[in-house]
Amino acid sequence: MARIGLFFSSSTGNTRRIARAIKKRFDDETMADALNVNKASAELVAGYTHLIFGTSTLGGGQLPGLSTDCMGGGWEEFLPQLKDVDFSGKTVALFGLGNQEKYPDEFVDALGELYHFVVARGAKVVGAWPADDYDFISSKALLDGEFIGLALDQENQKNLTDARVEAWLKLIAPEFGLPF
């Protein structure tokens, strides 16, 4: 089994594309295929000590789910399945997508929801990302002036995505034992 589990939920396909781009950087022994949470199980997630979770943020700051027309379900439906998973001893990195111009009051809020969920269950979260070079009003994903994971805006800053993903992977590499 691969050492790192990579799970995401996507409402438009953008988060899936980012997850797949991350996966392409590593071999199958290092990282499992990017897997939509609608095809995952709590047992599968629990089997990894290193995890990367990705999510989009929907209007209103919501996690993707059936109620928001996410194909097959999303984090909204999957998180309750993970409520009994012990994340103690697990290292988790998070990335999230949002639209800072259209939703400046809840930019990447779903990222904050994932963070609070895994931290409440004992996870060590790595990969805090600077909030510089973004233009938003508020975010539940901010902690001490930084995002709690990689924040991406595919609508307004798509040209920065590749460089941000690369820099973020270098940032989390030591915690995940990744080759960089």
Domains of the chain with bracketed CATH: 4-176 (3.40.50.360)
This prediction has a pTM of 0.95
d(CA 114, CA 94): 8
Backbone angles phi, psi at 7, to 5 degrees: -125, 145
d(CA 102, CA 136): 9
Q: What is the DSSP string of 78-126?
A: HGGGGTT---TT-EEEEEEE--TTT-TTSTTHHHHHHHHHHHHTTPEEE
Per-residue pLDDT 10s for the chain (180 aa) are 579 999 999 888 899 999 999 999 999 999 999 999 999 999 999 999 999 999 998 877 778 876 554 555 689 999 999 999 999 999 999 999 999 999 999 999 999 999 999 999 999 999 999 999 999 999 999 999 999 999 999 999 999 999 999 999 999 999 998 877
Which of 120, 38, 135, 34 has its CA nearest to residue 84?
120
- Asked if residue 114 lies in contact with residue 96, where contact means CB atoms within 8 angstroms, the answer is yes
